[in-house]
Structure 1
Amino acid sequence: MSQSKQKKNWKEQLHDIIYEAETPAGKLFDILLLIVIITSIILVMLESVKSIDSKYHDVLNAAEWVITILFTIEYIARIITVKKPLKYICSFYGIIDLLSTAPKYLSIIFTGTHALVALRALRLLRIFRILKLGRYLGASHNLVSALKASRAKISVFLFAVIILAVILGTIMYLVEGEENGFTNIPKSVYWCIVTLTTVGFGDIAPQTPLGQFIASLVMILGYGIIAVPTGIVSAEYSNRTKTPGPIALPADQNKTIHLNSQSCSNCLKHDHRDGAEYCYNCGEPLHNT
């Protein structure tokens, strides 16, 4: 009998529940954790509203303590169920999990009126819990891979946009002049950037007919510029969807590979093929159900 078929100990069972979403228990854990994360984010937002916090401070504080304890239990469980705890602790999500848990405990240490400013900053760190949602977003790894694959093209595109903003900003400085708010070239470039991105703060506006004509062209150009990086990333994302995860197929084998969320307890890699018994990264046996 292979190792994958042997009876699992409690750590392996807990690992399956926490790190995987293919089993009923794993799906239930993810759903409950999502609810807790979203609830905690809502509490942080409500706590920042003075009228609500002054009326329901004790309730919000008690609820925050309950959520903090739950996150603490989850954080400890994640550490004890992997073979290399330090790897998880130093990973991106490990740091996010710590940042989302620690502030409430640190608020006990920093007491007194002299630490009110520090307390506010510590409490705001709890908003990092929203980053915990990232590991539960389906196909998020494909989007990250698409962005990485597109970074060279996007970098060239952004460089071209910067050059265009400098040129158009300089032209607007010459056309409008200081009397219309374009007091220097950097400020004119700033106007061009906010106009190209269709933000339009309205603190600077061209007054001359020629300047308004140029501004109209810049705004129209801005809509076209937004579409370029979107198309680049979309094309890469489409390619990643056809051949997702760590498995790269030749161009003539255009077929979908089914991957799952199974996570390796040794190196924390995921996106293994359905039915795989060993990790594609480190060769560690997987805890198949």
Structure 2
Amino acid sequence: MPKTSTAQPTRDKTFGRPDAGFRLRMYTVIFEADTRAGRLFDLLLIAFILASVAVVVLDSMASVHARHAALFQVLEWIFTAAFTLEYVARLACVRRPARYARSAFGIIDLLALLPTYIAILVPGLYALIDVRVLRLLRIFRIMKLTEYVAEYGALGQALAASRRKILVFMSFVMLVVVVMGTLMYVVEGPVHGYTSIPVGIYWAITTMTTVGFGDLTPHTDLGRTIASVMMLLGWGTLAVPTGIVSAEFTLQRQGHAPTTRTCHECLSEGHAPGALFCSDCGARLPAWRHQATEQGKT
């Protein structure tokens, strides 16, 4: 499960890649995936993230918490210490740590740490906020997975590329629910539960998305006809955005995403999987790990 490689050159320029020394070796392990150490680092972090989220979920169950509260507390500090070391290492191995701290991944990393430390460093906070809120904030650790699984990056790119089409589609949906909600308010009226236009819009949204809670139902023939049209429109509501994002996935598969392969001469990266020479300095590239595996088989 390698990191998203297509964003690597941008991240390198934004955060600042070290030129040499221990920081460069640490950067290679933490931010690059096409090395044995980088892959092991990714897998270890994924295991820690999943285990920590599992502890948070189990700790929210009263019966389990009563029996294993002490164990959960020890595990929580182990996970917090590990994520703290990872966060400090990331800040230490880039030339612009402030930029990383302000980035989306940096904020997510910080959210994974703060709840445990806040609960200890600010005891008076318990008088203002229930401690369970701090525990629930630890669930943000699941968002750290997006940095280690390439498919998350592909999904993000597909959504970003489709954002204008999705925005236009959502605008059309909002237009339909506002018109239909207002129409149901006029047709059914307060006597049947449609006490205002916002209530009618709420009914239109639940009907168009095929949720249908059943707390509001039309009683007149015209109202049932409108409801039938809304239910049929609901099928298209689910299908259109799925088709938009699927089309973007297809376009991405037609291209060839670069990897995190690094030239040992000029330290440039983002070379294509089949590249033999560096596109910047012309030096011969080291064998990609997939190429090395295929050569070993032959």
- Mark yes or no: TM-score above 0.5: yes
- Given that 1:110 and 1:119 are in contact with CA atoms closer than 8 Å, whether structure 2 keeps it comes out as no
The secondary structure found in structure 1 opposite 2:150 is coil
Query: Unpaired segments of 5 or more residues in structure 2?
Result: 1-18, 288-298
For residue 132 of structure 2, what is the aligned residue in structure 1?
Answer: 120
Cα distance in structure 1, aligned partners of 2:184 and 2:176: 12
CA distance 1:114–1:127, change in 2 (3 Å): closer
Per-residue displacement from partner, 1:216-237 (whole Å, max 9, x unpaired)?
2211210111111111122122
2:43 to 27, 31, 39: 31
Matches within 5 A, 1:208-287: 208-243=220-255, 257-261=256-260, 272-274=271-273
Identity %: 43
Q: Cα distance, 1:199 vs. partner?
A: 1.7
For residue 203 of structure 2, what is the aligned residue in structure 1?
Answer: 191
1:163 to 168, 172, 175: 175
Q: CA RMSD in A?
A: 2.8
Q: Cα distance, 1:121 vs. partner?
A: 2.4
Query: Unpaired segments of 5 or more residues in structure 1?
Result: 1-6, 244-256
Partner amino acid, structure 2, of 1:207: H
Q: Cα distance, 1:184 vs. partner?
A: 1.7
Cα distance in structure 1, aligned partners of 2:127 and 2:278: 53
1:134 to 127, 146, 149: 146
Q: Cα distance, 1:120 vs. partner?
A: 2.6
CA distance 1:233–1:124, change in 2 (3 Å): same
Q: Cα distance, 1:116 vs. partner?
A: 6.8
For residue 54 of structure 1, what is the aligned residue in structure 2?
Answer: 66
1:105 to 90, 93, 117: 117
Instruction: Detail structure 1 runs of 4+ shifted over 6 Å in the superposition.
Output: none
Cα distance in structure 1, aligned partners of 2:204 and 2:195: 14
Aligned residue pairs total: 261
Per-residue displacement from partner, 1:228-248 (whole Å, max 9, x unpaired)?
1111122122213323xxxxx
- Given that 2:271 and 2:278 are in contact with CA atoms closer than 8 Å, whether structure 1 keeps it comes out as no
Cα distance in structure 2, aligned partners of 1:224 and 1:41: 36
Per-residue displacement from partner, 1:124-173 (whole Å, max 9, x unpaired)?
22111111011122243332222222222221211111111122112222
Q: Cα distance, 1:263 vs. partner?
A: 8.6
CA distance 1:117–1:51, change in 2 (3 Å): farther
Partner amino acid, structure 2, of 1:128: F
CA distance 1:262–1:104, change in 2 (3 Å): farther
